Amino acid sequence: MLLPIITYPDPSLKKIAIPITEFDDSIRDLAESMLETMYVSNGVGLAAPQVGRSTRLIVIDPDHYNSEKNPRVFINPEIELIGENIVSENEGCLSVPLNYRADIPRNNKIKVKYQNILGEIKEEIFEGFPAIIIQHEVDHLDGKLFIDKISRLKRSLYESKVKKWIKNGGLE
């Protein structure tokens, strides 16, 4: 099922999401619908708060644009930064309107502790692009957007563009 994606400045994107404790059919349905929504929206990741569910579930596919897809689901993910600081170039987000993009500081290697769809605890190391996507999506679970990490000047320029866009009825 396709889910509507919530966009900035909706205040619900600032909420801290709640851990998942029951690994039932509703969680499987949510993960499936989120993957479907992500693929249709041309994204490489999606977090549950972006579809109005304040729970700690993210889906990603770093290979979205490759011939072999690689859908992944992470529940209650916890990140440990174990690499070096890098700049993630041209980062964007399905919840950030006007296709806005910016360079964002990230880490190039992370260890992720998470639960799979069955509730089993897993640990995995990610490097490069997948690591960047996971950091971006876990930020959503903590109520953070990538535009919270840009300079004040860039942020205020962006905010005035969004205000104008909303005033014009949200048409690009």
Kindly write out the interface string for residues 115-154 of this chain, putting x where it contacts Zn ion by CB under 5 A and - elsewhere: ----------------------------------------
Residue 138 and residue 75 in contact, taking contact as beta carbons nearer than 8 Å: no
Minimum Å distance from CB 78 to Zn ion?
A: 18
Of 69-77, 85-93, 112-120, 158-166, the segment contacting Zn ion by CB under 5 A is 85-93
Among 93, 112, 132, 141, binds Zn ion (CB under 5 A): 93
Active-site position among 120, 127, 137, 172: 137
Residue 67 and residue 98 in contact, taking contact as beta carbons nearer than 8 Å: no
Of 57-65, 87-95, 97-105, 153-161, the segment contacting Zn ion by CB under 5 A is 87-95
Q: Which residues are catalytic?
A: 137
Residues of this chain that bind Zn ion (CB under 5 A): 93
